[in-house]
Amino acid sequence: MLKFKSLATALTLACSVSLASAWETLPTEAPAPAENPTTSEKVELGQMLYHDPRLSSTGTVSCASCHNTMLGGEDNRANSMGVNGQTGGRSAPTVWNSAFNKVQFWDGRAASLEAQAAGPVTNAIEMGMKSWDDVVARLKSIDGYQVAFEKAFGKDAISKDNATKAIAAYERTLITPNSPYDKYVEGDKAALTLQQVRGMEKMSDLGCTGCHSGAAFNGAGMFQKFPMIANGYFEAQYHFKKDKGVAEVSKNPADENLWKVPTLRNIALTAPYFHNGSVKTLDQAVAIMGQVQLGKDLSKADIADIVAFLNALSGEFPKQKMPVLPGTPGTTFNN
């Protein structure tokens, strides 16, 4: 189990982030852990597993169902839909640039991409498999996976550990560099419009980058309370406090409404917003953040400038060729 920071520690860290580090460009490669070095064979296998709905109990839901790599890396739903039409209580985070998160999930309960990949497969609402033993048995029944796992890991390699390592290796290739913002920071001063530059400056002046810092604008694993400032009007509309965030896992009252700081990369493509997907538009999300996090009633001009800058954080998506999944000629798996 991940050890969570207390609310006080998290907020102290939030206030101590240096704004000088805010304007960083996104790396084009993600570091891999020593126990799971990235190889082309792992990435190829991971891409297959990521897009294969046979990892779900009904054969209808894959990782890509909720984290769509053909668009913003999530599903543009308020609450993602799993097996048998079930929906959870949270909005799917984007998979793009998730390699630069120090922890995964909205509540940070997974310490790595490998740990995150293991969770949804056996979640009753998401992919619904009864156990990873059942997943492994299914994969072993598919000849093509026997070959792909052997290429990536050696003989008799089909296991939960290797499956999650392969998915994580693939996800570490999902990076979107060279946004207009990145080009601007690297010296191309024509890459941003004057309005976007104003928005960039306002992000810093208002303190937005105190939390949304670093190359991925995600605070490098920081947690923050949301909402910070009580607002009955917004709460009645959006129910932000209904989900207790980190406290749902830690069971520590001090962690109530504490959340991992999400990336702002490609945020223009990932509506609806916030952990429960309750806010439909980016301009409304910015206005809400101004009030409940910063205690500021932002003007329409300020909001427009910030939204313009946030649009400049949409990067270049790597070209991908969808995998051909291993077949089961003449038969199918048992539900």
Question: Which residue is associated with the tokens 């079930």?
Answer: 86
Active-site amino acid positions? 126
Q: Exposed, middle or buried by CB within 10 Å (0-12, 13-18, 19+), for 10?
A: buried
Residue 162, both tokens: 């290797």
305 class by beta-carbon count within 10 Å (0-12 exposed, 13-18 middle, 19+ buried): buried
Question: Whole-angstrom Cα distance, residue 59 to residue 55?
Answer: 7
Determine whether 6 is exposed, middle or buried from the number of CB atoms within 10 Å of its CB (0-12, 13-18, 19+): middle
Contact (CB, 8 A) for 128 and 62: no
Contact yes or no for 283/298 (Cβ under 8 A) = no
d(CA 246, CA 259) in angstroms, rounded, equals 6
- Torsion, Cα 311 315 319 324, to 10 degrees, reads -70
> Are the C-beta atoms of residues 78 and 277 closer than 8 Å to each other?
yes
Measured torsion, CA atoms of residues 228, 229, 235, 237, in degrees rounded to the nearest 10:
-100
Asked if 198 and 287 touch (Cβ cutoff 8 Å), the reply is no
The per-residue DSSP string of 222-273 comes to -EEESSSS--HHHHHHH-TTSS-BTHHHH--GGGTTEEEPPP-TTGGGS-SB
